[in-house]
Structure 1
Amino acid sequence: MPDSGDTGDFLFREAVLSDGEIIHRWLSAPHVTRWTHRIFSTISGACDGASPSAESMLYIVEFAGGEIGCAHVYSAHGDPNWTAIPDVTGQTRAIDFLIGEADFLNRKIGQAMLRALAGKIFRETETDRIVACPHPDNWPAVIALKRVGFREKGRHPIPTMNAMYLTVTRQTFKG
Protein backbone atom coordinates (compact mmCIF):
# COMPACT_ATOMS: atom_id res chain seq x y z
CA MET A 1 0.00 0.00 0.00
CA PRO A 2 1.39 3.45 -0.85
CA ASP A 3 2.81 5.51 1.98
CA SER A 4 0.64 8.40 3.07
CA GLY A 5 1.65 11.10 5.45
CA ASP A 6 -1.09 13.14 7.03
CA THR A 7 0.28 16.55 8.00
CA GLY A 8 -2.61 18.62 9.24
CA ASP A 9 -4.73 19.82 6.34
CA PHE A 10 -2.42 18.18 3.79
CA LEU A 11 -2.04 14.56 2.91
CA PHE A 12 1.11 13.45 1.10
CA ARG A 13 0.58 10.07 -0.46
CA GLU A 14 3.07 8.14 -2.52
CA ALA A 15 2.34 8.56 -6.22
CA VAL A 16 1.49 5.42 -8.14
CA LEU A 17 1.65 4.71 -11.85
CA SER A 18 -2.02 5.58 -12.30
CA ASP A 19 -1.25 9.14 -11.13
CA GLY A 20 0.82 9.73 -14.26
CA GLU A 21 -2.06 11.23 -16.24
CA ILE A 22 -2.90 13.90 -13.66
CA ILE A 23 0.77 14.74 -13.09
CA HIS A 24 1.33 15.19 -16.82
CA ARG A 25 -1.79 17.41 -16.95
CA TRP A 26 -0.39 19.56 -14.13
CA LEU A 27 3.02 19.76 -15.81
CA SER A 28 1.27 21.00 -18.99
CA ALA A 29 -0.82 23.66 -17.24
CA PRO A 30 0.12 27.22 -18.32
CA HIS A 31 0.76 28.38 -14.73
CA VAL A 32 3.24 25.50 -14.30
CA THR A 33 4.98 25.54 -17.69
CA ARG A 34 5.66 29.25 -17.24
CA TRP A 35 8.17 28.42 -14.50
CA THR A 36 9.47 24.98 -15.31
CA HIS A 37 13.05 24.24 -16.08
CA ARG A 38 14.86 20.96 -16.48
CA ILE A 39 14.53 20.11 -12.76
CA PHE A 40 10.86 19.36 -13.34
CA SER A 41 11.90 16.47 -15.57
CA THR A 42 12.59 14.62 -12.30
CA ILE A 43 8.91 14.87 -11.42
CA SER A 44 7.89 13.80 -14.91
CA GLY A 45 10.27 10.83 -14.86
CA ALA A 46 9.18 9.82 -11.37
CA CYS A 47 5.55 9.51 -12.47
CA ASP A 48 6.43 7.23 -15.38
CA GLY A 49 6.76 4.16 -13.21
CA ALA A 50 10.22 4.64 -11.75
CA SER A 51 10.48 2.68 -8.55
CA PRO A 52 10.46 4.77 -5.40
CA SER A 53 13.39 4.51 -3.04
CA ALA A 54 14.56 5.97 0.23
CA GLU A 55 16.50 8.46 -1.89
CA SER A 56 13.53 9.63 -4.00
CA MET A 57 9.82 9.89 -3.34
CA LEU A 58 7.08 11.46 -5.42
CA TYR A 59 4.01 12.52 -3.46
CA ILE A 60 0.56 13.52 -4.60
CA VAL A 61 -0.59 16.38 -2.41
CA GLU A 62 -4.19 16.20 -1.29
CA PHE A 63 -5.95 19.17 0.25
CA ALA A 64 -9.61 20.09 0.82
CA GLY A 65 -10.71 16.64 -0.31
CA GLY A 66 -8.91 16.62 -3.63
CA GLU A 67 -5.58 16.23 -5.38
CA ILE A 68 -4.05 19.66 -5.92
CA GLY A 69 -0.40 19.07 -6.81
CA CYS A 70 2.71 17.05 -6.25
CA ALA A 71 6.05 17.18 -4.51
CA HIS A 72 9.23 15.31 -5.32
CA VAL A 73 11.65 14.76 -2.44
CA TYR A 74 15.04 13.30 -3.28
CA SER A 75 18.62 13.12 -2.07
CA ALA A 76 20.60 16.14 -3.23
CA HIS A 77 23.91 14.44 -2.41
CA GLY A 78 25.41 12.96 -5.55
CA ASP A 79 22.71 14.43 -7.79
CA PRO A 80 24.46 16.17 -10.72
CA ASN A 81 22.19 19.20 -10.36
CA TRP A 82 23.47 19.83 -6.83
CA THR A 83 27.18 18.91 -7.01
CA ALA A 84 28.31 22.55 -7.20
CA ILE A 85 26.57 23.48 -3.93
CA PRO A 86 29.13 23.33 -1.09
CA ASP A 87 26.75 22.72 1.84
CA VAL A 88 24.98 19.67 0.37
CA THR A 89 25.66 16.60 2.50
CA GLY A 90 24.50 13.01 2.49
CA GLN A 91 21.57 14.10 4.67
CA THR A 92 20.41 16.93 2.38
CA ARG A 93 17.09 16.55 0.56
CA ALA A 94 16.02 18.52 -2.49
CA ILE A 95 12.42 19.31 -3.29
CA ASP A 96 10.49 20.13 -6.44
CA PHE A 97 6.87 21.03 -5.95
CA LEU A 98 3.87 22.41 -7.75
CA ILE A 99 0.24 23.22 -7.30
CA GLY A 100 -1.35 21.89 -10.45
CA GLU A 101 -4.92 22.98 -9.81
CA ALA A 102 -5.29 26.67 -10.69
CA ASP A 103 -8.18 27.15 -8.23
CA PHE A 104 -5.68 26.74 -5.39
CA LEU A 105 -3.26 29.45 -6.52
CA ASN A 106 -2.78 32.82 -4.78
CA ARG A 107 -4.41 31.67 -1.54
CA LYS A 108 -1.25 31.00 0.55
CA ILE A 109 -1.86 27.28 0.10
CA GLY A 110 1.61 26.83 -1.41
CA GLN A 111 3.19 28.27 1.71
CA ALA A 112 1.13 25.99 3.95
CA MET A 113 1.91 23.01 1.72
CA LEU A 114 5.65 23.73 1.89
CA ARG A 115 5.51 24.11 5.67
CA ALA A 116 3.73 20.75 5.95
CA LEU A 117 6.16 19.10 3.51
CA ALA A 118 9.30 20.43 5.24
CA GLY A 119 7.88 19.44 8.63
CA LYS A 120 7.23 15.93 7.34
CA ILE A 121 10.76 15.64 5.94
CA PHE A 122 12.41 16.86 9.15
CA ARG A 123 10.20 14.66 11.37
CA GLU A 124 10.55 11.45 9.38
CA THR A 125 14.17 11.56 8.24
CA GLU A 126 17.65 12.47 9.42
CA THR A 127 17.69 15.38 6.97
CA ASP A 128 20.03 18.23 7.91
CA ARG A 129 18.74 20.68 5.31
CA ILE A 130 16.29 20.96 2.44
CA VAL A 131 17.21 22.72 -0.79
CA ALA A 132 15.03 24.08 -3.58
CA CYS A 133 15.74 25.94 -6.80
CA PRO A 134 12.69 27.74 -8.23
CA HIS A 135 12.94 30.03 -11.24
CA PRO A 136 14.11 33.39 -9.81
CA ASP A 137 11.13 35.23 -11.33
CA ASN A 138 8.64 32.80 -9.79
CA TRP A 139 7.94 35.11 -6.88
CA PRO A 140 5.00 33.13 -5.48
CA ALA A 141 7.29 30.11 -4.99
CA VAL A 142 10.23 32.17 -3.74
CA ILE A 143 8.07 34.08 -1.23
CA ALA A 144 6.38 30.88 -0.02
CA LEU A 145 9.77 29.23 0.51
CA LYS A 146 11.13 32.26 2.39
CA ARG A 147 8.09 32.45 4.68
CA VAL A 148 8.69 28.83 5.66
CA GLY A 149 12.28 29.69 6.61
CA PHE A 150 14.22 29.01 3.41
CA ARG A 151 17.07 31.44 2.89
CA GLU A 152 18.33 32.61 -0.45
CA LYS A 153 21.86 31.50 -1.25
CA GLY A 154 22.16 33.04 -4.74
CA ARG A 155 21.70 31.70 -8.22
CA HIS A 156 22.09 28.03 -8.96
CA PRO A 157 25.71 27.63 -10.10
CA ILE A 158 24.90 25.61 -13.22
CA PRO A 159 25.02 28.15 -16.09
CA THR A 160 22.36 26.34 -18.13
CA MET A 161 19.81 26.54 -15.32
CA ASN A 162 18.10 29.81 -14.52
CA ALA A 163 17.23 29.08 -10.90
CA MET A 164 17.56 30.59 -7.46
CA TYR A 165 19.07 28.42 -4.75
CA LEU A 166 17.30 28.43 -1.36
CA THR A 167 17.95 26.30 1.70
CA VAL A 168 16.39 25.65 5.11
CA THR A 169 17.92 23.80 8.04
CA ARG A 170 16.21 22.30 11.06
CA GLN A 171 17.23 25.44 12.99
CA THR A 172 15.80 27.94 10.48
CA PHE A 173 12.62 26.03 9.61
CA LYS A 174 9.47 27.91 10.66
CA GLY A 175 7.26 24.93 11.45
Structure 2
Amino acid sequence: MKISGCKEENITFAEMSNEYIELVKAWVAKPHVCRWWTDSWSEEIFQDTLYKKNESFIHGSMIICIDDVPIGLSQLYFSSSSPETSLSFGECGLRFFIGDAKYLKQKLGRVIIGKLVEGIFRVTKIERIVCEPQADNWPAIISLKRAKFRDHGRVRRANLSLVRLSLPRNLVEKKLK
Protein backbone atom coordinates (compact mmCIF):
# COMPACT_ATOMS: atom_id res chain seq x y z
CA MET A 1 0.00 0.00 0.00
CA LYS A 2 1.23 3.47 -0.83
CA ILE A 3 1.40 5.67 2.24
CA SER A 4 -0.68 8.33 0.49
CA GLY A 5 -3.39 5.70 -0.04
CA CYS A 6 -3.95 5.34 3.69
CA LYS A 7 -7.58 5.15 4.78
CA GLU A 8 -9.24 5.48 8.17
CA GLU A 9 -9.44 1.72 8.61
CA ASN A 10 -5.63 1.50 8.47
CA ILE A 11 -5.28 3.87 11.44
CA THR A 12 -5.37 2.64 15.03
CA PHE A 13 -4.41 4.09 18.39
CA ALA A 14 -2.40 2.28 21.04
CA GLU A 15 -2.33 3.28 24.68
CA MET A 16 0.95 4.91 25.66
CA SER A 17 3.08 2.38 27.54
CA ASN A 18 6.69 1.79 28.55
CA GLU A 19 7.39 -0.03 25.28
CA TYR A 20 6.99 3.25 23.37
CA ILE A 21 9.05 5.57 25.62
CA GLU A 22 12.32 5.35 23.67
CA LEU A 23 10.51 5.73 20.36
CA VAL A 24 8.65 8.84 21.57
CA LYS A 25 11.89 10.32 22.96
CA ALA A 26 13.50 9.81 19.53
CA TRP A 27 10.53 11.47 17.80
CA VAL A 28 10.51 14.45 20.17
CA ALA A 29 14.22 15.01 19.43
CA LYS A 30 13.62 15.27 15.67
CA PRO A 31 13.69 18.82 14.25
CA HIS A 32 10.22 18.62 12.70
CA VAL A 33 8.75 17.76 16.13
CA CYS A 34 10.87 19.65 18.67
CA ARG A 35 10.32 22.90 16.78
CA TRP A 36 6.72 22.96 18.02
CA TRP A 37 6.61 20.45 20.88
CA THR A 38 7.04 21.75 24.45
CA ASP A 39 9.13 19.80 26.98
CA SER A 40 6.34 19.93 29.58
CA TRP A 41 4.09 18.07 27.16
CA SER A 42 6.67 15.28 26.96
CA GLU A 43 6.57 14.91 30.74
CA GLU A 44 2.82 14.33 30.48
CA ILE A 45 3.44 11.56 27.95
CA PHE A 46 5.81 9.71 30.24
CA GLN A 47 3.50 10.18 33.24
CA ASP A 48 0.73 8.54 31.22
CA THR A 49 2.71 5.28 31.28
CA LEU A 50 2.43 5.23 35.08
CA TYR A 51 -1.35 5.16 35.20
CA LYS A 52 -3.57 2.45 33.82
CA LYS A 53 -6.45 3.99 31.93
CA ASN A 54 -9.78 2.21 31.66
CA GLU A 55 -10.78 3.54 28.24
CA SER A 56 -8.94 4.86 25.24
CA PHE A 57 -9.67 8.43 24.13
CA ILE A 58 -10.58 9.59 27.63
CA HIS A 59 -7.45 11.37 28.78
CA GLY A 60 -3.80 11.04 28.06
CA SER A 61 -1.41 10.05 25.34
CA MET A 62 -1.87 7.52 22.57
CA ILE A 63 0.42 6.21 19.88
CA ILE A 64 -0.86 6.73 16.33
CA CYS A 65 -0.36 3.62 14.18
CA ILE A 66 -0.80 2.95 10.48
CA ASP A 67 -1.07 -0.74 9.64
CA ASP A 68 0.12 -1.43 13.22
CA VAL A 69 3.32 0.62 12.68
CA PRO A 70 3.77 3.44 15.25
CA ILE A 71 4.16 6.75 13.41
CA GLY A 72 3.20 9.47 15.88
CA LEU A 73 1.51 10.55 19.06
CA SER A 74 -1.71 12.24 20.14
CA GLN A 75 -2.42 13.82 23.50
CA LEU A 76 -5.85 14.66 24.89
CA TYR A 77 -6.01 17.03 27.85
CA PHE A 78 -8.36 19.13 29.94
CA SER A 79 -7.96 22.65 31.29
CA SER A 80 -6.79 21.58 34.73
CA SER A 81 -3.80 19.79 33.22
CA SER A 82 -2.74 22.55 30.83
CA PRO A 83 -1.95 26.14 31.76
CA GLU A 84 -1.21 26.90 28.08
CA THR A 85 -4.77 26.49 26.80
CA SER A 86 -7.95 28.04 28.15
CA LEU A 87 -10.73 25.46 27.98
CA SER A 88 -14.37 25.73 29.02
CA PHE A 89 -16.65 23.07 30.47
CA GLY A 90 -17.35 20.43 27.82
CA GLU A 91 -14.12 21.12 25.92
CA CYS A 92 -10.88 19.18 25.67
CA GLY A 93 -7.58 20.05 24.08
CA LEU A 94 -5.75 18.00 21.49
CA ARG A 95 -2.07 17.88 20.56
CA PHE A 96 -0.54 15.55 18.01
CA PHE A 97 2.48 14.95 15.84
CA ILE A 98 3.75 12.56 13.21
CA GLY A 99 7.15 11.49 14.46
CA ASP A 100 8.25 9.18 11.66
CA ALA A 101 9.50 11.52 8.92
CA LYS A 102 8.61 9.17 6.06
CA TYR A 103 4.93 9.73 6.90
CA LEU A 104 5.19 13.52 6.56
CA LYS A 105 3.81 15.33 3.50
CA GLN A 106 1.56 12.38 2.68
CA LYS A 107 -1.74 14.16 3.49
CA LEU A 108 -2.28 11.81 6.44
CA GLY A 109 -3.03 14.54 8.99
CA ARG A 110 -6.67 15.03 8.02
CA VAL A 111 -7.36 11.28 8.03
CA ILE A 112 -5.62 10.73 11.39
CA ILE A 113 -7.35 13.71 13.01
CA GLY A 114 -10.71 12.61 11.60
CA LYS A 115 -10.41 9.16 13.11
CA LEU A 116 -9.11 10.56 16.39
CA VAL A 117 -11.91 13.09 16.89
CA GLU A 118 -14.53 10.52 15.91
CA GLY A 119 -13.19 8.25 18.66
CA ILE A 120 -13.15 11.07 21.21
CA PHE A 121 -16.73 12.11 20.45
CA ARG A 122 -17.94 8.50 20.32
CA VAL A 123 -16.86 7.60 23.87
CA THR A 124 -17.11 10.94 25.69
CA LYS A 125 -19.62 13.71 26.23
CA ILE A 126 -17.11 16.31 25.05
CA GLU A 127 -18.88 19.02 23.03
CA ARG A 128 -15.84 20.70 21.47
CA ILE A 129 -12.22 19.78 20.76
CA VAL A 130 -9.72 22.65 20.78
CA CYS A 131 -6.29 22.70 19.21
CA GLU A 132 -3.83 25.60 19.40
CA PRO A 133 -0.82 25.03 17.15
CA GLN A 134 1.84 27.70 16.84
CA ALA A 135 1.00 30.22 14.12
CA ASP A 136 3.89 29.09 11.90
CA ASN A 137 2.99 25.39 12.16
CA TRP A 138 1.23 25.34 8.79
CA PRO A 139 1.20 21.54 8.40
CA ALA A 140 -0.85 21.19 11.60
CA ILE A 141 -3.11 24.15 10.83
CA ILE A 142 -3.87 22.90 7.31
CA SER A 143 -4.52 19.34 8.55
CA LEU A 144 -6.90 20.63 11.22
CA LYS A 145 -8.80 22.82 8.77
CA ARG A 146 -9.13 19.91 6.34
CA ALA A 147 -10.55 17.89 9.25
CA LYS A 148 -13.32 20.54 9.65
CA PHE A 149 -11.76 22.45 12.56
CA ARG A 150 -12.86 26.09 12.57
CA ASP A 151 -10.27 28.87 12.74
CA HIS A 152 -10.90 31.36 15.57
CA GLY A 153 -7.84 33.47 14.88
CA ARG A 154 -4.59 34.09 16.69
CA VAL A 155 -4.13 34.05 20.45
CA ARG A 156 -1.12 34.84 22.63
CA ARG A 157 -0.18 32.42 25.39
CA ALA A 158 3.09 32.07 27.30
CA ASN A 159 5.00 34.25 24.81
CA LEU A 160 3.72 32.18 21.88
CA SER A 161 1.61 33.20 18.91
CA LEU A 162 -0.95 30.44 18.43
CA VAL A 163 -3.91 29.79 16.16
CA ARG A 164 -7.01 28.62 18.00
CA LEU A 165 -9.02 26.04 16.09
CA SER A 166 -11.98 24.01 17.32
CA LEU A 167 -14.32 21.29 16.19
CA PRO A 168 -17.81 21.10 17.72
CA ARG A 169 -19.48 17.72 18.14
CA ASN A 170 -22.37 18.62 15.80
CA LEU A 171 -20.01 18.73 12.79
CA VAL A 172 -19.22 15.01 13.16
CA GLU A 173 -22.50 13.69 14.63
CA LYS A 174 -23.62 12.10 11.35
CA LYS A 175 -20.52 9.88 11.37
CA LEU A 176 -21.23 8.83 14.97
CA LYS A 177 -24.65 7.34 14.16
- TM-score class, shorter-chain normalisation, is 0.7 to 0.9
> Are the equivalent residues in 1 in contact too, given 2:12–2:68 (CA < 8 A)?
no
State the one-letter code of the partner of 1:51: Y
Over aligned residues, Cα RMSD in angstroms?
A: 2.2
CA–CA separation in structure 1 for the residues paired with 2:41 and 2:128: 20
CA–CA separation in structure 2 for the residues paired with 1:153 and 1:78: 22
Percent identical residues: 28
Q: Deviation of residue 138 (structure 1)?
A: 1.3
CA–CA separation in structure 2 for the residues paired with 1:74 and 1:80: 11
CA–CA separation in structure 2 for the residues paired with 1:70 and 1:52: 18
> Are the equivalent residues in 1 in contact too, given 2:84–2:158 (CA < 8 A)?
no
1:65 equivalenced with 2:64 (yes/no): no
Q: Deviation of residue 41 (structure 1)?
A: 2.5
Q: Deviation of residue 19 (structure 1)?
A: 1.2
State the one-letter code of the partner of 1:105: L
Q: TM-score, normalised by structure 1?
A: 0.82
CA–CA separation in structure 2 for the residues paired with 1:81 and 1:159: 7
Map 1:147-166 onto structure 2 (within 5 A).
Answer: 147-166=146-165
Structure 2 gaps of 5+ residues are 1-7
Q: Deviation of residue 147 (structure 1)?
A: 0.8
1:94 equivalenced with 2:83 (yes/no): no
- 2:62 alignment partner, SS class: strand
> Are the equivalent residues in 2 in contact too, given 1:19–1:47 (CA < 8 A)?
no
CA–CA separation in structure 1 for the residues paired with 2:90 and 2:42: 21
Distance 1:128 1:68, change over 3 A: same
Q: 1:8 — aligned with what?
A: 9
User: More helix by proportion, 1 or 2?
Assistant: 2
- 1:157 alignment partner, SS class: strand
CA–CA separation in structure 2 for the residues paired with 1:159 and 1:44: 18
Q: 2:46 — aligned with what?
A: 47
Moved over 6 A (4+): none
> Are the equivalent residues in 2 in contact too, given 1:135–1:164 (CA < 8 A)?
yes
Map 1:21-40 onto structure 2 (within 5 A).
Answer: 21-36=22-37, 38=38
Distance 1:172 1:77, change over 3 A: farther
Range that drifts further, 138-147 or 56-65:
56-65
Q: Deviation of residue 93 (structure 1)?
A: 1.1
Deviations 1:19-73 (CA, angstroms, capped at 9, x unpaired): 111111111111112333x3x6324432244426586321011103310001001
Range that drifts further, 7-16 or 72-81:
72-81
- 1:46 alignment partner, SS class: helix
Q: 2:77 — aligned with what?
A: 74
Q: TM-score, normalised by structure 2?
A: 0.81
Map 1:130-141 onto structure 2 (within 5 A).
Answer: 130-141=129-140
Deviations 1:67-101 (CA, angstroms, capped at 9, x unpaired): 00010011236732223xxxx33321111100000
CA–CA separation in structure 2 for the residues paired with 1:173 and 1:122: 8
